[in-house]
Amino acid sequence: MKDVFIVGSKGIPANYGGFETFVDNLVTRKKDKKIKYHVACMTFKKAKRYEYNGADCQQITVPNIGGARAIVYDLKALSWALKIIKQNNIKNGIVYILACRVGPLLHYYVKEFHKYGFKIWVNPDGHEWKREKWSFPVRKYWKFSEKLMIKNSDFIICDSKTIEKYIQREYSKYNPKTTFIAYGADIIQSFLTKKDKSVKEWYEKNKVILDSYFLIVGRFVPENNFEIMIREFMNSNIEEDLIIVTNVEKNKFYENLKRKTHFEKDPRIKFVGTVYDQQLLKFIREHAMAYVHGHSVGGTNPSLLEALASTKLNLLYDIGFNREVGRDGAFYWSESKGSLGNLLNLTISLHEKEIMDKNSVSKKIILDSYSWEKIVDEYELYIEL
């Protein structure tokens, strides 16, 4: 039996979020009976232990103290894993840490885990230290923490080839042992139809016309380029709406966005909040004229994979992470004034065959390179080595 402790996701079953969805699929789709998963799960309430699809899940209670709670959570989860390993004298397993939050304290844990023959795996995720939401001192911490995570771990799994190249280049003096295993995507169509109650209610409530809108899905943060996407859309000749599915918060970023673009004066721009029903979100993607993707920080982005699997036409911000995934199955735009606007205008003049050709290519990319079955097979291969 190979024991694998997973630290860093908010927990399973997944409601939302990349790491949570990944862990859920890794556990649910497990084929190798010799692997036993132990998953840390975050809670603000009294902790409980439970089983989920064969995985041993332990809730970790953390104080709701803002951004720092993720660091506290990871440290408490590592302590939990170490305690279980010691109590049961478990040998030669893996502790897989998702994201690089606890670099300054990892060295201590590595020594303790190594006593039991456990290897430390790390998934560095994306460039957390580039995110604009963090203050300069916090960004410095994330970068420092990343360096120590890479230095002290045994194996680095990158879900983006671009991230793997960055790790090898940036931390070459540590000779990091890395591999690329992509994030996965669900390639099955939504089982909802336009007659379903949840579909009808969502489209009516948000005054959205089926098959007649452009779509953005993503976290409401500056590095997802909302300003460029909204401004360019407003300057385009598009008559249809731009539907923005995001956790919009009326904060400083929102107010600055309003001041710079005056989007509230354009009836086509519609912020519709989040959609946690995955089947409904898939249906919304499938019936969009095109998906506009502005993410500029991070590895293989889940919302991009889902769009390539579901939406006929995809317009992606031109950066290594996005090109690596979209390849010839998408169109690309840059920060240059008019770049996205011209591309948007182009999309409404495309013939149906041109749209379906792009759709076929994007779906084949997901099927060949990003299916969950393929991803789980690759993980199980490395776990059993």
Q: Are residues 263 and 359 in the same domain?
A: yes
Structural contact between residues 25 and 375, judged by C-beta atoms closer than 8 angstroms: yes
Residues written for the chain: 385
Per-residue pLDDT at 134? 66
Q: Are residues 157 and 204 in the same domain?
A: no
Give yes or no for residue 61 having a pLDDT over 80.
Answer: yes
Q: Residue 235: which CATH number?
A: 3.40.50.2000
Domain count, the chain: 2
Q: Are residues 159 and 205 in the same domain?
A: no
pLDDT tens sequence across 196-214: 999 999 999 999 999 999 9
Q: Are residues 211 and 322 in the same domain?
A: yes
Q: Are residues 146 and 22 in the same domain?
A: yes
Burial 361-376 (b: 16+ CB within 10 A, else e): ebbebbeebbbbeebb
Percentage, residues of the chain above pLDDT 90: 81
Whole-angstrom CA distances from 142 to 92, 104, 125, 218, 326 are: 30, 10, 12, 22, 28
Give yes or no for residue 133 having a pLDDT over 70.
Answer: no
Query: Is the Cα dihedral 337, 300, 22, 129 positive or negative?
Result: negative
Burial 151-174 (b: 16+ CB within 10 A, else e): ebbbbbbbbbbbbbebbbeebeeb
Structural contact between residues 245 and 224, judged by C-beta atoms closer than 8 angstroms: no
Mean pLDDT over 54-76 rounds to 91
Give yes or no for residue 129 having a pLDDT over 90.
Answer: no
Kindly give the interhelix angle for 69-88 and 103-114, rounded to the nearest 10 degrees: 10
Per-residue pLDDT at 126? 67
